[in-house]
Chain A
Amino acid sequence: MRAMFASRLVWIGIAMLAAGALLPLFASGYVLGLLTVAFYTAVFAMSWDLLFGFAGEVNFGPTFLIGLGAYTAGILDARLSPHISIWLCVAAGAAAAVIGGLLLALPALRLRGPYFGLTTLVAVLLLQSFIVVFAGLTGGEIGLSVPDVMSIDANTNYWIAFGFMAVSGAILFGLSRSAVGLILQASGQDSVQAGALGFNVVKHKLAAFVVSAFFSGLAGALMVFYMGTASVGTFVDIAVGVQVIIAAILGGRRTVVGAAIGAIFLISMGELLRPLGELATLIVSFIALLVILFFPDGLLGILRGGARS
């Protein structure tokens, strides 16, 4: 059963990959731009799922890690523009997210349940306050514009984002199905028993946090060089984190692939319903609520259930 589930996920993944890679041949620049953002969000959601779905830790502050990556990369580029490659900035962004993630996780992992969640939430609020207070460096509430972008071609940007999502997805998925992933899952469900079996629960959770931070920061940094700006509203605000969490649970927690589906679904729905104005968010939230109430396994669960019956 487990093997069947895994193989079906792999097939869904391969079908999505094929469809995604060929899309620029048919789709307009508008659709590609939309999906580019959706793919970065998908990486945010997959990283979050590794931490929640497997390690069982509710991280309310995915945007702390995303924001650290995005702003570190953005500030470096804005300060040292012609003398620094954007890829170096991206690497620095990912490194900053990992360091920040470690600083947050080392003490926070001692806490359980809602307390861990709240610490991560507070980390976001603090980061947001600091960005606003040090407006000279960070651009404050207006946002930071970055002199360099990866590419101005919609197709190139799309392929970079798509490739990045595919590679990160494969790594995260592989990790979740590996022995480490199983230990994580065991620690998430019953950390005392996992510890009694001789696994170092804290070490594994810390590793999960670091991996999650790495991919979140990397995706945040790359997205800065796609958008050309970094602002609180797109990278740090709690609303962004909420969207990441909803995407992961909506798509189907504990699947990694589901998180990506959820993110793409959320972003596309939001855009499709945009003509409705303020009602768009209302309807998307309502659909997400219905899915959570009636299909706790998420969109991927619906897909799986439909395919099996």
Chain B
Amino acid sequence: MLFWQILIDGFAISALYALGATGFTLIFGVSGVLNLSHGAIMVAAAVAAWAAAGLLHVNAYVASLIGIAVGIVLAFATYFIAVRPIQQSKRIAESEREIFILTATLLWGIIIQELVAYLYTNNAKTVLPIVEGVVTVFGVRTPSNEFFTAAVCWVVIGLLWLLVNKTRRGKAVLAASMNPRGVTLLGIELSGIYLTVWAVYGLLAGIAGILLGMFLGVSSYSVGPLTASAFSIVVLGGLGSVSGSLIAAYVVGYLETMTAYMISPAYRSVPALLLLIVVMYVRPQGLFGRR
């Protein structure tokens, strides 16, 4: 009973972690940017879906689309406001760009977070689930929404895989993550690739945020933990390695669920953090890292 409960709950939460971390690692792999406004964008997308459903009285599908649109718009805004000006600045030394982008995206995330809190308060919000009801699987009563969440996450990740590996644009993105200069020499505009990647990132973060809003609910307090968990999953899996992030998401998701069920919810995040520290010392490039 407990076994099945952990298996099912852990699977859904891990799928959500995986989706959230995929966008994050994609941006890092292609442009070397660690986007610390990640959690804020997820929360903003979820709150937008919640507000659309509550204030405009649209159905759950339209509300989700509005939320995703907000996610994409915010992703572009992040790129044009907090990332690009620093990448192109002549007054910031190459070696310091990383910390400047980290700080700028962090501040940008705080701005989004405070704007959300100002417009819609700090209260936790639950987005109206697209799939309602409860099903019993292996004697465990589970909200249908959990299965829906896991399914959507994996479909989206699958589509992303197809996009990257089977389309011309996707192959260009993949090539850019391996060798940006080589791609430029082939006559592909690098800035166009960055735009593609940020659009895809916004889409992924938006979907992940809305699903999270349906599954657990979000508030502006979840911004920091969301960014931190995406960051740690991505580092655990190896920066820039998408498959590594997926595996790491499952490791962290199950570790947390097992701790919460078998020890105490208070310790939920501790084993995953300890594991992360151990991995960093033993294998600093992460489980599947390239660099």
Contact = CB atoms under 8 A, between A and B. Distances in A.
Interface string B102-146: 111011101100110110000000000000000000000000000
Contacts of B284: 110-112, 115
Contacts of A282: 110-111, 114-115, 118
Nearest to A135: B266
Interface residues of A, number: 42
A155 interface: no
A115 B235 contact: yes
A189 interface: yes
A278 B114 CA distance: 7
Given A113-B98, A129-B269, A249-B103, A279 B114 contact: yes
Interface string A73-115: 0000000000000000000000000000000000110111111
B153 interface: no
Contacts, number: 106
Interface string B152-173: 0000000000000000000000
B232 A278 contact: no
The prevalent SS among residues of B at the interface is helix
Contacts of A119: 277, 280
Contact of B82 (A56, A112, A249, A289): A289
B104 A289 contact: yes
Nearest to B229: A125
Contact of A126 (B96, B231, B235, B270): B270
Given A114-B98, A292-B107, A125 B269 contact: yes
B180 interface: no
A108 B269 CA distance: 21
Interface stretch (B57-65, B87-95, B241-249): B87-95
B34 interface: yes
A146 B63 CA distance: 49
Interface stretch (A28-36, A215-223, A237-245): A237-245
19 contacts: A107-B281, A110-B281, A117-B102, A119-B277, A121-B228, A122-B273, A126-B273, A129-B273, A133-B266, A133-B270, A238-B228, A279-B118, A282-B111, A282-B115, A285-B111, A285-B114, A292-B100, A293-B82, A296-B100
List of 3 A-B pairs having minimum Cβ-Cβ separation, nearest first: A282-B114, A289-B107, A285-B110
